[in-house]
Structure 1
Amino acid sequence: MSKSSAENNLRAKAEAKIREKSNVIENLTLEESKSLLHELEVHQVELEMQNEELRETQHRLEEIRDQYTDLFDFAPIGYLVLDEKAIIKNINLTACDLLGIERSFLIEKPFSAYITNGESRTLFLNLRKAFETGILHSFEIEIKHKTKGSFTALLQGAITKNQKTNDTVCRVSLIDITELKEAEILQLQHKSLQKEKEKIQEYLNLAPVVFLLIDPQYKVQMINKKGCDLLKCESSEILGKHWFDNFISFVGTNGVPLSHQSIENENGLLNPCFESFLKCRNDELRLMFWTNVTLLDDNNKLIGTLIAGEDITERKKLELRQQKYTEELEEIVEERTKGLNDALKKEKVISEMKSAFVSMASHEFRTPLTSVLSSAILINKYNELKQYDKVGPHVQRIESSVNQLTSILEDFLSMEKLERGIVTTSKETFDLEAFIIDIIEEFSWMLKEKQKINYVQKSPIEVFVDKKILRNVLLNLISNATKYSKTDVQIRTYVNNAVLHIEIEDKGIGIPEKEQEYLFAKFFRAKNAVNIQGTGLGLSIVKHYVKLINSTISFTSKLGEGSTFKLTLPLHS
């Protein structure tokens, strides 16, 4: 109905009312008519004013309705109005967006049509209980989106009456809690991980080694109790700090400084194992052996390093002590082995001497003993025959043989004493010329026919030396010279730069050049002297005696031409 027809209708009703009261108006006086007219005009003005107020009130109501509509449609959560059968009576735009369906297609449609299978029963049970109690308690159901699949929604609401229709409806709020559920799951996972972390931390705190986790920037993210105790710091003083700059000393175990390259490989990752000193509080250093495990993500990107450290300070000290003890033990064993080797060598020498003595005695003793025996038999026969004039040569022969045996035994006794180191020296001052002449006279009876010993000394010489040792040396050298030579023997003595030189020269058989290096060895005899009487000990004894009196001996020899032995002796006042 148009506005003009409504006004015409209202006017017709008003004229009908006036006609009913026309009889009353006709009987009014003029004054009464004026008064009535004035009242009518006043009422007319009042009605106009009331109409204006009504129009303004209606306009405000329309504005409030529009605001309510905006609040209802554009609220951040979905709103639905459901009856007892869960038919959608009204729904806001947010709920429409959650379902992915326009509002015109939802009004008067069952809400259960947009719920996943198995959830309808939950909806109806809660809705029935709500209409009984007046409150729809919050519950969760899975709702289908037209194109995006399903999502978890939280529903809650209250029962109210529709004032127009006087019907009872349920006003329901609909909230998508999918992200909230995911957040709750993440929160639960975080709590679970936190508990696992605390549990792992408890296990790590019981470990006897240092455990820590560092990030790619080498900052400490986790450290166990052993690490804190060793550093003598609280965990709060360690966490977040650069591990190598604050807690690792780059002084090597051998004193040579370590570089970052010594603990990192070419990829910038920590080497699996290395040793370094840990800087503890109060500047204490502990030697540590580190084992490192690199942690990578699915893209092989470094996310951290797990480090385990063992304190090997005491073990290293023990190893050093063991090494030192081993070295000392090796030295002791080496010394004792050397001593045993020396003893074995001495035993071998003694054994060789015994064997050589037996061999030599069987050879050297046979001739003089045979000579003694034969001479004794002949002397006995000459005495029986009273041929006394023939006894003398055989007595001399026995004396010579006995002297020969005595010389052999003296050589052995001298060598034995020298080997054992029991020969002592006793120096004295004496005239060298008279000393050597006495020695030459001792050899007068031993010289071969037409053989002489020539002695040359240009000036008097006094020496300060052990007389007995020097005599034994010269006796051996002169004896060899006369034994191996048929011609004269030359003895020369002279002093040069406070050193006495004694030279003994013979024109005998000489010494083969290849055998000269063995000349002073015990029991050595050159091949060209095998058939000449001797023990092979004389020159070895001379070598020992020469050392005792701080002198030296040398020789020159040529096979078939003879030898010259030279003795040098420093002169001491």
Structure 2
Amino acid sequence: MVDKGSRSSNLRSKAEAKVSTTPSDQSELTVDQAKELMQELEVHQVELEMQNQELREAQHHLEDIRDQYTDLFDFAPIGYIILNEKGLIDNINLTACSLLAINRTKIIKRPLSAFMEVNEAHILFIKLQEAFKNGVLKPFELEIKRNDRGSFPALVQGTVTKNIKGQLQCRLSMQDITEVRQARILQQQHKALQNEKEKIQQYLDLAPVVFLLTDKEHKIQMINQKGCNLFGYERVELLGQNWFDFLIYEENGGEDDPSLIDFERKIKLLAPELECKVRCKNGEELIMSWHNTTLLGKNGDQIGILSAGEDITVRTKLEEDKQTYTDNLELKIQERTKELIKALEAEKRINDLKSNFITIASHELRTPITIVMSSIILIERYNSLGQYDKSNKHIARIKSSVDHFVNILDDFLSLHQLDKGIIQINKEVFDLEPFVQEIIADMKGLLKKGQHIVYQHTGSKKLNLDPKILRNIILNLLSNALKYSNDQINVKSSIRLDHLKITIEDQGLGIPEEDQENLFSSFFRARNVEHIQGTGLGLSIVQRYLELFGGNIKFKSVLGKGSIFTIIIPIS
């Protein structure tokens, strides 16, 4: 950069040269004329200084404008690139440099096509040709490579102008649309989920029972057509309404009648089965039997409840009328023979068993029954085609479903007894070591190939506890260890002065860390054992049995290495 002193020296030299070539007036000046001339020179000098000041201010203003333009150009949120007719980069802002991950000094005069694949470069070449012909670069998308890593989708558009030399150049903008594309994908996924939801709604509308989905605030999020028809509402009238405030009859759980079910308390306790009165739009009251399943989020928190309901109004009234009739009949036939009384009692027991079976089958036993039915249909089809060898697989499925069916019955029976509080502790003194050995012997039929159980006991052997409940606790824990492991199972027991301690260790699948906090919740199953049959009630039942003893259960588990469950029961 030339400093101001050298610039002034050059100007003075040029001025002197010009003066020397200009003819001068050789006539002598008087003193007055000289004073007047000096006055004019001083005025001109002041004028020149004022003009110079204005020029300097104008220059500073132009420099400010240039800096502002540079800032606006470089720090704009969109990349800007100026290309000449050959597709070479004449100028580029810092945002575009950041998108391409390259320094500006290394990109000027390079072709923009160097940052894309051959096919993309060909598209750019055709678009630029059209732009220089038509004057506009219409918006289009390109996949552009970064100098250091990967690539990104960009939206490119621009206009064609002339520079100060009259040469054509394309001023284009470049915007990273990665998030836009992701938004498109999410929108497509949302649409697919919406379609899937509509399909599920269509299937549920065909169901013969009421299906109802409420969120954690008890607001209705979904109800099938059976429910709308039964309660007399349009679906839009029910969605978003609070289930308890809108439909549940006010007397449910009322303090004036302790036999009525406290609905909110049952929901909070995740009651699997309950009955209540429901108020229809026309004022009619229906008695409904419900089965509730708690829905858990990824973090294990409750996000809603799925309820399946059946109208039992007529059946309940019939049962009440039948009970009244039976009571009156018993008064009239007291003098009849004992054989007739026994026959009536047998009939009543059969009716009770039938009622209980229908209740369970309508809720928890549909899945294994469905598998059995589908397998039978496939076996018949294979037999009709003479493909008998293909039936074995489905026969095995039928056997497995029957076993699953029995396990569900056992689990629900235990849960029912615990819920009703009808289990009583009957303590007796027995020897613990042979007691546990007998349980292990009973479990040998469930051992897989290469699987065995090792048992050790320390301390005293005599114990004063309810052996039936203790047996159920050990059976549940040991069956879980056998089910989720293929190797050795270690069982240890010890009796100290004030407590009994039993440890069951396996080298099986282990429990995912994110599932461990919900392990003792009813119906909860870890995600890595969803393919293995089970009701999700075993550990919940064990915990509730231990609560009867005043004991507790702890566990340690590492995914893929196994689990250790330890129970401690006070015996003081």
Task: Provide the TM-score with structure 2 as the length reference.
Answer: 0.50
Task: Provide the TM-score with structure 1 as the length reference.
Answer: 0.50
Q: Which has the larger radius of gyration?
A: 1
